[in-house]
Structure 1
Amino acid sequence: MSRICVYLGSREGSRPIFRQAAQALGTALAERGHTLVYGGARIGLMGELANAALEAGGSVIGVMPDHLVEREQAHFGLTELIRVANMHERKATMAANADAFIAMPGGIGTFEELFEIWTWGYLGLHEKPMGLLNIDDFYGPLLTFLDSTVANGFLAQATRDMLQDAQTPQALLSALDIRL
């Protein structure tokens, strides 16, 4: 069993497809016997993901800084809720408890977490697989931009290739499972 860290929004987004994808990913993680590691909230896509994993019989570890427990409305029905002192400790704890990383649609926090863990991989601080769940081409513009950074000589193709992407939870989990 692997522990999969998922970065995603504490908001639901503007279209039902994002909520449905979070639910599908949570269910798929549980059905494959993976433990979900995420930011610990019960709201937005984060809550949908955790609830789906729990409802499918999965294990869910949430990690949340003390100052956000009330603000983000922590999910107290998880297998485990790890409270930490700050955001830096949150990200380090999530990374230490994960065997792979997935970014779903989200905002600046999701982007920051994704790019930090990708940078850590580039620097050799981990060799864990990483992927984007590209629901309804949410990440299409980013992927085009990343390919442009390769074409313009600012990103090595090998570094770009570290970041898998797929449009469905099953396809992305299959791609990541190859390297788990």
Structure 2
Amino acid sequence: MKSVCIFCGSANGNSTEYIDIAKQTGRLLADSNITLIYGGGRVGLMGAVADAALEHGGKVVGVMPRSLVEQEIAHDRLTELHVVDSMHQRKTLMAQLADGFITLPGGCGTMEELFEQWTWAQLGIHNKPCSLLNVAGYFDPLIDMIQKMTTSGFLRREYLEMLVIDISPAGILKQFKEYQPPKKKWQQ
């Protein structure tokens, strides 16, 4: 795995555990020689994961819409910053650049990014692993909802199981190495 896209909050959250896991993830990616692909921000967990990767000699590639760059929230020390015209272009480029996706705590935008890539994986648009880094039980309610989707007949078990869930970034990277995508949704 050469690159991993991180989806996470542009806020810090209300627990130091969130910042700590973002920093730990950035360090691990840098130490593993894995390029960090992310939304390009200098704020919140986004800034923390990027700063940690950069401080440990990692390569960090940001992708940000011009409107957000103009609001001066772009990180100014990245290895590379792609400025695009829209959020749709941002997500598409991040997906093209990444070999896998790790989701840290965040809000609506973070969840939307995760669900889009996970859906694309189900449809076979890509074969890249998607994950939840479940620090401090942050994603427990979401995991319960995903299990409810499965038991209610709206999500096949193999699509539940394709979502990598762990409490540590090292655990996620280990599972990424062993990841085997299921068959495309409509080819079963």
**TM-score tier after normalising by the smaller chain length:** over 0.9
Match of 2:20 in 1: 20
Runs of 5+ in structure 2 lacking a partner? 181-188
Q: Output the amino acid matched with 1:142.
A: L
Question: How many angstroms does 1:179 deviate by?
Answer: 2.9
1:116 match: secondary structure: helix
CA-to-aligned-CA distance 1:129-159 (integer Å, 9 cap, x gap): 1110000010011101111111111100011
3-state SS of 1:164 partner: strand
Q: Which amino acid aligns with 2:18?
A: F
CA positional deviation for 1:110: 0.2
Query: Which residue does 2:184 correspond to in 1?
Result: none
TM-score, normalised via structure 1 length: 0.97
* Corresponding residue SS for 2:128: coil
Match of 1:165 in 2: 165
- The corresponding residue for 1:175 is 175
The one-letter code matched in structure 1 to 2:89 is E
Name the count of aligned residue pairs. Answer: 180
Which structure 2 residues correspond to residues 124-143 of structure 1 after superposition, within 5 A? 124-143=124-143
TM-score (norm 2): 0.93
> How many Å separate the matches in 2 of 1:175 and 1:54?
24
Residue of structure 2 in register with 1:38 after alignment: 38
Q: Please tell me the residue identity of whatever aligns with 2:116.
A: E
Q: Distance in 2 between the 1:33 and 1:178 partners?
A: 18
1:104-123 alpha-carbon deviations (Å, 9 max, x no partner) = 00000000000001111111
Q: Secondary structure at the residue paired with 2:57?
A: coil
Q: Which residue type is aligned with residue 111 of structure 1?
A: M
CA distance in 2, matches of 1:72, 1:159: 38
Shift of 1:70: 3.3
Give the aligned partner of residue 2 of structure 2. 2
Deviation at 1:178, TM superposition (A): 2.0
How far is 1:72 from its partner? 5.8
Q: Deviations over 1:33-60 (max 9, x none)?
A: 1000000001100000000001111100
Alpha-carbon contact 1:63-1:90 (below 8 Å) kept: yes
Contact 1:41 1:72 in 2 (8 A): no
Residue of structure 2 equivalent to 1:116 = 116
Q: Superposition pairs for residues 69-80 of structure 1, below 5 Å? A: 69-71=69-71, 73-80=73-80
Quick one: distance in 2 between partners of 1:72 and 1:114?
25
Q: Aligned letter for 2:12?
A: E
Cα RMSD, aligned residues only: 1.1
1:83 is matched with which residue?
A: 83
| Contact preservation (8 Å) 1:134, 1:140 | yes
Structure 1: 5+ residue stretches without partners: none
Higher mean displacement: 165-174 or 91-100: 165-174
1:147 pairs with 2:147: yes
Q: What SS class does the counterpart of residue 81 from structure 1 fall into?
A: strand
Identity across the alignment (%): 46
Task: State whether structure 2 residue 64 is matched by structure 1 residue 64.
Answer: yes
